A and B are shown apart, each in its own frame.
Chain A
């Protein structure tokens, strides 16, 4: 597959995470996650075209159904049910958030992580971008106050790791990939149930208001 096309796909994935940091509305965040998951599905599909493994095609289809369709449906229903139009604020303000994002992206492209991004020398640019995606997804979970964004952040982190694994040639057997996706599906179901329960208990998804636990 053309490396520029893959770079283009990964670029969109990276931008979708960037958008997740900026999104003020939950609807937009879920759309961004769906696009991100669709990118992962497309990248997996390019692997299928190279290997012609029908097991892999099955994994591609399951990924499409769970990450792109079901995840969006679950989150949209949650947003509609509890009228969660706007997401809660972040711990850092926008300028500081942008500085941190730039910092993480620069670190991922630095010599410090050369042994990580040089696993396949021809894919160094792709791996650097995937590593940036991992770092900024992790920061998304930390920086966001609301439970829904935290859940999307975790799923985004998983997508970024999958992208890194594919470009580093570390893909697993289709059976194990299926196991991982099944795990993600269960995680998705449990997290949406919890988000609903949190809303019922606290009247909002703002995790910074949860202060029942103290040493």
Chain B
């Protein structure tokens, strides 16, 4: 029932946003729908923690990792809607957008959230594929939201590259179905059926299928070298949408890859999929480390940081053992921190009207709270203690050093480069003198609260995880190890 409530509330909110005549209606309905999704996600998470996989209908099934992802989608989703309301009001006040745009924004945002919930909770790989494709379609217009040439270019690039990727992923998905007797399941094949029938699959076909799935869905994850759409799309979309794209969508696609990894591993063993994850993970960290140093836009900086972090998560799953637990924790910390950082980048954008690092000077004086939170977010995302990412990186790399010493050490050096590059840009923005013509204004509490709460959540979860969350992390680690 929870799944139907979540998805129907988001779809209804979308429909109301289309028909609404008042801004307040659109905002109230959207925040209510995301609040419902948040509450119901906690209900699902508790059920999974208590009794294992939860599948009330044939079409829906959630395991421990799925429940964790549902919590991430709902938490970041709620924060995104809460942040979007004052953010879009400011943009309207600045004559950047009108009411029609606001309606379009919330319609697509609610559909985007609904599609991500569907992708995670679907019991069928094809149903999940349809939902992932729906995330592409719902976000394409959000990326081109400002109707500028650069935004249009980013959106087209996003649409084409992701569509190719997803079609390759679809082809790989179909290849896994060769393990199933066509008379079974009446054409409806579930993840469970694929896992239990994996032994019937031709090993060579399993390898080819996993390559297609990894390249296909890996495009959506943002793994290099299929990452080229990501910095463009994330930098051109409105800041709250970038938060959802970077903080949530990449992880949703990664979970689909991991589900296929489990099936592939049961056919040919772990080494093939682990090697591929290590190769793509390392390449992603390398690309982002090299580009972050010379980055000129702070939104692109955050986007490349996402590629780096998805690379670290892929490495964790590739190394196996302790790395898997670290990767799962890293997913949680990265989602919350990166979303907070994108919200804060939105505050910079509203104040400075530019996404260029060179144009943002003396932010500590112009936007003191935002700047302090941005610095905290920077330390959290780059893995400085006491934040959780420090430990997850430590665990991932120590797992790597024991099995793949060269890769482990290379990854440590590359993340050090990312830290230096990020610090250089963050300090250039925050410190120094603000432009003399810039007025000193009080920062809006509503633009501060969502990132502040997310960062507090990261800090708390770095030291303490509630028992139900510990159970979910433990069970997910055991299953995906």
Inter-subunit contact A161/B171 (CB<8 Å):
yes
Q: A96 CB to closest chain B CB, in angstroms? A: 21
CB-CB < 8 A to A172: which residues of B?
126, 187-189
CB-CB < 8 A to B137: which residues of A?
183, 186-187, 190
User: Which of A150, A158, A213 lies in contact with B232, CB distance below 8 A?
Assistant: A213
Question: Nearest CB to that of A113 among chain B residues?
Answer: B208
CB-CB < 8 A to B170: which residues of A?
161
CB-CB < 8 A to A138: which residues of B?
164, 168
Q: A14 CB to closest chain B CB, in angstroms? A: 17
The CA of A171 and the CA of B189, in the complex, are separated in Å by 11
Inter-subunit contact B208/A141 (CB<8 Å):
no
Q: Is B149 an interface residue (CB 8 A)?
A: yes
Inter-subunit contact B127/A187 (CB<8 Å):
no
Inter-subunit contact B150/A212 (CB<8 Å):
yes
- B residues 266-311 touching A (CB-CB < 8 Å): 291, 294-296, 300
CB-CB < 8 A to B174: which residues of A?
161, 164-165, 168, 170
- A residues 189-214 touching B (CB-CB < 8 Å): 190-191, 194, 197-198, 201-202, 207, 210, 212-213
CB-CB < 8 A to A50: which residues of B?
none
Inter-subunit contact A212/B156 (CB<8 Å):
no
Q: Is B231 an interface residue (CB 8 A)?
A: yes
User: Which of A119, A154, A176 lies in contact with B167, CB distance below 8 A?
Assistant: A154
Q: Is B155 an interface residue (CB 8 A)?
A: yes
Inter-subunit contact B156/A210 (CB<8 Å):
yes
Inter-subunit contact B208/A176 (CB<8 Å):
no
Q: B415 CB to closest chain A CB, in angstroms? A: 20
The CA of A204 and the CA of B167, in the complex, are separated in Å by 27
Inter-subunit contact A150/B160 (CB<8 Å):
yes
Inter-subunit contact B156/A161 (CB<8 Å):
no
- A residues 115-169 touching B (CB-CB < 8 Å): 115-116, 119, 134, 138, 141, 147, 150, 154, 157-158, 161, 164-165, 168-169
With A179-B127, A190-B159 known as contacts, the answer to whether A119 contacts B153 (CB < 8 A) is no
CB-CB < 8 A to A168: which residues of B?
174, 178
Most buried by B among A138, A158, A168, A201: A201
CB-CB < 8 A to B164: which residues of A?
138, 141, 154, 157
CB-CB < 8 A to A93: which residues of B?
none
The CA of A201 and the CA of B160, in the complex, are separated in Å by 18
- Per-position 1/0 for B136-153, Cβ under 8 A of A: 010011001001011011
Q: B158 CB to closest chain A CB, in angstroms? A: 10
Q: A11 CB to closest chain B CB, in angstroms? A: 21
- B residues 155-207 touching A (CB-CB < 8 Å): 155-157, 159-160, 163-164, 167-168, 170-171, 174-175, 177-178, 182, 185-189, 202, 204-205
CB-CB < 8 A to B134: which residues of A?
183, 186
Q: A84 CB to closest chain B CB, in angstroms? A: 16
User: Which of A150, A175, A183, A202 lies in contact with B133, CB distance below 8 A?
Assistant: A183
Inter-subunit contact A134/B130 (CB<8 Å):
no
With A173-B188, A179-B126, A215-B295 known as contacts, the answer to whether A154 contacts B175 (CB < 8 A) is no
Q: Is A28 an interface residue (CB 8 A)?
A: no
CB-CB < 8 A to B116: which residues of A?
none
User: Which of A113, A169, A194, A197 lies in contact with B182, CB distance below 8 A?
Assistant: A169
Inter-subunit contact A179/B167 (CB<8 Å):
no
CB-CB < 8 A to B178: which residues of A?
119, 168, 170
The CA of A134 and the CA of B170, in the complex, are separated in Å by 12
Q: A13 CB to closest chain B CB, in angstroms? A: 16
Inter-subunit contact A194/B155 (CB<8 Å):
yes
With A158-B167, A176-B126, A202-B149 known as contacts, the answer to whether A207 contacts B156 (CB < 8 A) is yes
Q: Is A61 an interface residue (CB 8 A)?
A: no
Question: Nearest CB to that of A150 among chain B residues?
Answer: B160
User: Which of A141, A147, A215 lies in contact with B294, CB distance below 8 A?
Assistant: A215
The CA of A198 and the CA of B300, in the complex, are separated in Å by 23
The CA of A62 and the CA of B147, in the complex, are separated in Å by 33
The CA of A215 and the CA of B202, in the complex, are separated in Å by 43
Inter-subunit contact B205/A154 (CB<8 Å):
no
Q: Is A180 an interface residue (CB 8 A)?
A: yes
Inter-subunit contact B205/A176 (CB<8 Å):
no
- Per-position 1/0 for A46-73, Cβ under 8 A of B: 0000000000000000000000000000
Most buried by A among B177, B205, B208: B177
* 6 intermolecular pairs with C-beta atoms under 8 Å apart: A115-B202, A157-B164, A157-B167, A194-B156, A212-B149, A213-B154
New contact pairs (8) apart from A187-B133, A215-B291, A215-B300, CB-CB < 8 Å? A115-B204, A161-B167, A165-B174, A169-B182, A176-B126, A191-B159, A210-B153, A212-B153
Leading 4 A-B pairs by shortest Cβ distance: A173-B187, A212-B150, A115-B204, A210-B153
Q: Which residues does B use to contact A, with CB under 8 Å?
A: 124, 126-127, 130, 133-134, 137, 140-141, 144, 147, 149-150, 152-157, 159-160, 163-164, 167-168, 170-171, 174-175, 177-178, 182, 185-189, 202, 204-205, 208, 231-232, 236, 291, 294-296, 300
